[in-house]
């Protein structure tokens, strides 16, 4: 098919670039003749082949120009990356320190923004609702980040633990009348138990097998939930799951018993519950973040990263690799389960449809896109992955195309994820200053 497409490296001349673009345009021409240049039209009941040469010409021209621009941008980005990598000197450390302060600052700004959001948009149900969805994904992302980002275990079935948490709460509350706050830790522990059962045998295997086992487990859970009708309600799911209450005060229209609105002397409004749910997941997220960030600086967290970097070296240093992996896997499962409890309580209705592989893929994409192991990266990636399809609603059927393009662009621009810079867990420079 024409001449092979040559990879033009940095410092390419205009002639090189044009030649490259010409080659691509030629390929576009070959492909375009049947796909764009010829079309069938219905003429008097019979199909006739019609030609569309002007459109084909425009198509080839667009490919030519697009390739030129794309190549130019890619080269520029590549050059910048090379330059950045070359300048690995002491000034680099200073810059990292500046970057660290910046990340901390952005983190606090995001937190304050998240705190104030429902106040700023108190009359806009849609915004608060979407923000809650973002936070659910942030929490799922942080849970999976421990497994994938820190411990380097490829978990393709994280949604299974999300489902376990959600169904655990749904069943505990509808069958046994458990409240949200009591069921929350219990359901988290049940999910952790499932993590233990899955992880115990499969974490002894090499990485690829774990991916297959978790992928299978995710499907098994979903298929069980669909088919075991007496237990899980089958495809109909579980309805009227109790919503969380504000220290025992339900969010209901005025009735005989005290409600949130009547207790505080407010006029009843359905927004109260939405805002309350938002703050619940915000608190859960903050707890998760503090917990995971602290764990990362502890021996167990450093061992997770060490196992990701080199398992054999860990063994040679006396680290029980299976236990380290298991702790990461179980913790990730537990956090997924807690997110599931919140999801069930927020929706009031769950069915197996909410826990498909697609969901696992999105959570994994959040972790990878955010930059493996980066907490703030997960937040940014969740924002992108939840908001893009929402914003894209106006583009109707093109919205998934937009979504895919955005993901490709991020991966070209930042192959290591949005925030790929790893933050050391402790520093000699600071330690020296300590008494």
Residues that bind another protein (CB under 8 A): 88, 93, 291, 294-295, 298-300, 302-303, 305-306, 309-310, 312-321, 422, 424-429, 431, 434
Looking at the Cβ atoms of 80 and 422, the one nearer to another protein is 422
Give the DSSP letter string of 172-234: HHHHH---HHHHHHHHHHHHHHHHHHHHHHHTTS-HHHHHHHHHHHHHHHHHHHHH-HHHH-G
User: Minimal distance in Å, beta carbon 300 to another protein?
Assistant: 5
User: Minimal distance in Å, beta carbon 87 to another protein?
Assistant: 12
User: Minimal distance in Å, beta carbon 409 to another protein?
Assistant: 25
Question: Which of 193, 130, 134 has the alpha carbon at shortest distance from 164?
Answer: 193
User: Minimal distance in Å, beta carbon 280 to another protein?
Assistant: 23
Looking at the Cβ atoms of 306 and 380, the one nearer to another protein is 306
User: Minimal distance in Å, beta carbon 166 to another protein?
Assistant: 27
Measured between its terminal Cα atoms, the distance across the chain in Å is 70
Question: Which of 315, 192, 171, 165 has the alpha carbon at shortest distance from 241?
Answer: 171
User: Minimal distance in Å, beta carbon 302 to another protein?
Assistant: 5
Looking at the Cβ atoms of 309 and 353, the one nearer to another protein is 309
Looking at the Cβ atoms of 47 and 312, the one nearer to another protein is 312
SS3 157: coil
Handedness of CA 171, 196, 416, 100 (dihedral sign): positive
Looking at the Cβ atoms of 154 and 319, the one nearer to another protein is 319
Looking at the Cβ atoms of 393 and 434, the one nearer to another protein is 434
> Around Cβ 239, how many Cβ atoms within 10 Å?
13
CA distances from 421 to 1, 96, 238, 305 (A): 41, 9, 43, 14
Residues forming a β-bridge with 350: 238
Contacting residues for 215 by C-beta, under 8 A, at least 6 apart? 156, 157, 357, 360
User: Minimal distance in Å, beta carbon 326 to another protein?
Assistant: 13
User: Minimal distance in Å, beta carbon 287 to another protein?
Assistant: 12
Looking at the Cβ atoms of 63 and 419, the one nearer to another protein is 419
Alpha-carbon distance 197 to 169, whole Å? 20
CA distances from 119 to 113, 122, 129, 277, 311 (A): 10, 5, 13, 14, 48
Contacting residues for 39 by C-beta, under 8 A, at least 6 apart? 49, 50, 51, 52
Looking at the Cβ atoms of 305 and 359, the one nearer to another protein is 305
SS3 154: coil
């Amino acid at each position: 098919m024409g001449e092979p497409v040559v990879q033009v490296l940095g410092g390419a001349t205009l002639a090189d670039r044009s030649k490259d673009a010409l080659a691509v345009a030629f390929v576009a021409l070959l492909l375009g003749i049947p796909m764009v240049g010829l079309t069938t039209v219905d003429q008097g009941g019979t199909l006739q082949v019609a030609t569309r040469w002007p459109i084909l010409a425009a198509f080839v021209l667009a490919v030519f120009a697009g390739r030129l621009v794309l190549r130019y941008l890619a080269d520029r980005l590549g050059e910048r990356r090379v330059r950045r990598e070359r300048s690995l000197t002491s000034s680099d450390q200073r810059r990292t320190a500046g970057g660290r302060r910046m990340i901390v600052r952005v983190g606090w700004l995001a937190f304050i923004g998240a705190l104030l959001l429902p106040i700023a948009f108190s009359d806009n149900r849609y915004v608060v609702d979407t923000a809650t969805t973002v936070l659910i994904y942030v929490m799922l992302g942080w849970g999976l980040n421990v497994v994938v980002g820190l411990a380097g275990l490829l978990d393709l079935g994280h949604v299974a633990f999300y489902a376990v948490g959600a169904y655990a709460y749904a069943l505990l509350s509808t069958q046994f009348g458990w409240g949200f706050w009591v069921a929350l830790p219990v359901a988290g522990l049940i999910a952790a138990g499932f993590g233990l059962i899955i992880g115990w045998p499969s974490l002894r295997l090499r990485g690829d097998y774990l991916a297959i086992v978790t992928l299978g487990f995710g499907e098994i859970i979903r298929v069980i939930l669909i088919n075991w009708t007496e237990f899980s309600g089958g495809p109909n799911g579980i309805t009227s799951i109790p919503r969380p209450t504000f220290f025992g005060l339900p969010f209901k229209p005025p009735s005989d018993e005290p409600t949130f609105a009547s207790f505080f002397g407010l006029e009843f409004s359905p927004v109260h519950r939405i805002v309350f749910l938002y703050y619940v997941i915000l608190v859960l997220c903050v707890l998760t973040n503090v917990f995971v960030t602290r764990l990362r600086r502890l021996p167990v967290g450093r061992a997770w990263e060490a196992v990701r970097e080199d398992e054999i070296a860990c063994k040679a240093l006396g680290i029980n690799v299976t236990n380290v992996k298991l702790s990461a896997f179980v913790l990730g499962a537990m956090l997924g389960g807690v997110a599931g409890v919140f999801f069930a309580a927020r929706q009031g209705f769950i069915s197996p449809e909410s826990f498909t592989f697609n969901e696992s893929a999105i959570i994994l994409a959040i972790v990878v896109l955010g930059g493996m192991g980066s907490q703030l990266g997960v937040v940014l990636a969740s924002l992108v992955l939840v908001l893009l399809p929402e914003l894209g609603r106006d583009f109707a059927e093109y919205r998934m195309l937009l979504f895919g393009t955005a993901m490709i662009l991020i991966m070209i621009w930042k192959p290591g994820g949005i925030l790929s810079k790893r933050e050391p867990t402790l520093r000699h420079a600071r330690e020296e200053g300590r008494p």
